[in-house]
Amino acid sequence: MLEAADTTPLSRRIAPPTWLVVALACAGQFLVVLDVSVVNVALPSMRADLGLSASGLQWVVNAYAIAFAGFMLLGGRAGDLYGRKRMFLVGLGLFTLASLGGGLAQDGWQLLLARAVQGLGAAVLAPSTLTLLTAAVPEGAARARAIATWTAVGAGGGAAGGLVGGVLVDVLSWRWVLLINVPVGAVVLAGSLVRLVESRTGDGRRLDLPGALLVTAGLATLAYGIGQTEAEGWTAAATLVPLAAGLALLGLFLVVEARTAVPLMPLGLLRLRAVASANAAMLLSGSAMFCMWYFMTLYAQNVLGYSPLDAGLALVPSSLAVVAGSKLAPRFMRVAGARTVATSGTLVAATGFAWQSTMSAHGEYLTAIMFPGILMMLGAGLAATPLAALATSGAAPGEAGLVSGLINTSRTMGGSLGLAVMSTIAAARTGGDGGAGALTDGYALAFRTSTAVLLGGAAVMVVWLPRRVAAGTPK
């Protein structure tokens, strides 16, 4: 087992320019988030080419999501102990090689294996992207701007998935939704290898292996159970057993961490108001926000008759809105504080979700997709930046990778859980009717439910979030 040294930084080379660190970190984050959604429009082509079953097709998405969620905390802690640059390179290398393997897959099992390895690489890579950034930029206005860029790029990656996937499938083939990662990953890998400087804040500790195994197994099992809800429903044994097992494993993880001298996740972190409240808020807001792209794409294609490419183009204004919101957030944070901006952004998003819930089967683009979509994603961008800034403030430098992994885990698990719940709600309303009117009613109910979740999240933010991002113990 690798053992962490206590040298910081590890390299004597001159530190690279801050803008370059931010650019490389954001490029890694873009790849990770893009791959959550880019395969969706390629699924029919994958099924036809590789002969995948309906359940196999679902696992093209779930294999990535489960590995991503399950290994995130482990990836974050590994960066603290063994080096942020090293874990960034390992994660990016795994992700790039797995993308190549998936793009060249000749059988269904090869594609599923590649997607799982992609998820593992993403879980190691994602926490390192935020940790490299926060280590390079001191707390304050500059870090808020850097985190805003990271948030905007990540949100833009998720938003661009449908458009990028539609273009690649229409112009080339489904294989290019994976192969496109290879040249981009190789360029980022080369630049990071040459220019990034290694650092870590480990103090000679070894990785808490029992804790790592328990939390990884717990999160992966829980993510598997959530994924089963779409096919099996919430009351089936195939759903309830993994959900219960995942929760039990996570409970055992907390018990072990409380008794371990050098835990994977010191439970004292959760006593930091900024860390605990921002993660809770991210879990709640993510559970609603993530659903937007899924249901808007379905509404555009299944109800309004858009092609996959047209549906992707229809959501471009929303994609630009989330980038704009993320970049505007630091300016507002300097004036009003992180809590106010996060809450206001969530309320703006809730307004958009409420508007979207009035959709009809014969909606016009401007009022049924564009304007409510802009409000939803403008609010999402405004809220995500202060939440990420709060979640990474107040913790010790040696916990930076862990808190980065934690906020990514909260967002990923919130999105997975929210999508499973909202899909079930929408399906229950349609009652198996595939007509445009029934589908619209189901999607509208999902947006109304998401509105209520966001309003609850805004209330949590007002009560619990600290007022501002601050070094040291949060206020």
Per-residue HEC secondary structure of 241-273 comes to HHHHHHHHHHHHHHHHHHHCCCCCCCHHHHHCH
C-alpha distances (whole Å) from 59 to each of 26, 157, 187 are 27, 21, 29
Handedness of CA 50, 52, 56, 57 (dihedral sign): positive
Contact by Cβ (8 Å): 128, 91: yes
Query: Which residues make Cβ contacts (< 8 Å) with residue 432, sequence separation at least 6?
Result: none
Question: What are the backbone dihedrals phi and psi of residue 307, each rounded to the nearest 5 degrees, phi first?
Answer: -75, 165
Q: Length of the chain in residues, anyone?
A: 475
Judge contact between 169 and 178, C-beta under 8 A. no
Helix spans in 38-107 (H): 43-50, 54-70, 72-82, 84-103
| Intrachain domains 17-197 and 270-475 with the same fold | yes
Q: Choose the CATH number for 270-475 among 3.50.50.60, 3.40.1390.20, 1.20.1250.20, 3.40.50.300.
A: 1.20.1250.20
- CA distances to 73, 107, 135, 468 from 399, rounded to whole Å, are 11, 41, 11, 20
Domain spanning 17-197: CATH superfamily: MFS general substrate transporter like domains (1.20.1250.20)
Integer angstrom CA distances of residue 55 from 29, 108, 112: 29, 11, 12
Q: What integer pLDDT is reported at residue 398 of this predicted model?
A: 64
Distance in angstroms (rounded) separating the CA atoms of residues 429 and 431: 5
Q: Which of these, 177, 158, 157, lies nearest to 168 by C-alpha position?
A: 177
The confidence score (pLDDT) of residue 7 equals: 41
User: So what's the pLDDT on residue 468?
Assistant: 67
Measured between alpha carbons, how far is residue 105 from residues 42, 50, 55, 122 in Å? 14, 9, 18, 19
Mapped onto helix, strand or coil, the DSSP state of residue 394 is coil
pLDDT tens for the chain, residues 1 to 475: 334 444 444 444 566 777 787 788 888 888 887 777 777 777 778 888 888 776 676 678 778 877 887 788 888 888 777 888 888 889 999 999 999 999 999 988 899 999 999 989 988 888 887 777 777 777 677 777 887 787 777 776 766 777 777 788 778 888 998 998 899 889 888 888 877 777 665 555 677 788 888 988 888 888 788 877 777 778 889 899 999 999 999 999 999 988 887 787 788 888 888 889 999 999 999 889 888 887 887 898 889 988 777 877 888 898 889 888 988 998 899 899 999 999 999 999 999 999 999 999 999 999 999 999 999 999 998 998 899 888 877 667 667 667 777 887 788 778 878 877 888 888 888 877 778 899 999 999 999 999 999 999 999 999 999 876 654 433 4
CA 22 – CA 320 distance, rounded (Å): 20
User: Global pTM?
Assistant: 0.78
The angle formed by the CA atoms of residues 290, 387 and 257, to the nearest 5 degrees, is 95
Contact between 84 and 198 under an 8 Å Cβ cutoff? The reply is yes
Name the one residue in this structure whose structure tokens are 């307004």.
351
The pLDDT of residue 421:
85
The residue ranges of every structural domain in the chain are 17-197, 209-263, 270-475
Ranges of H-type helices in 267-399 = 273-298, 308-314, 316-336, 338-356, 365, 371-391
Residue with tokens 């007002």: 462
Using only the alpha carbons of the chain, give its radius of gyration.
21
- Within 8 A by CB and 6+ apart from 378, the residues are 321, 322, 324, 325, 345, 348, 349, 352
Can you tell me the distance from the alpha carbon of 285 to that of 106, in angstroms, rounded to the nearest whole number? Answer: 39
pLDDT at 400: 66
Confidence (pLDDT) at 469:
62
pLDDT, position 366: 95
215, two tokens: 């939390």
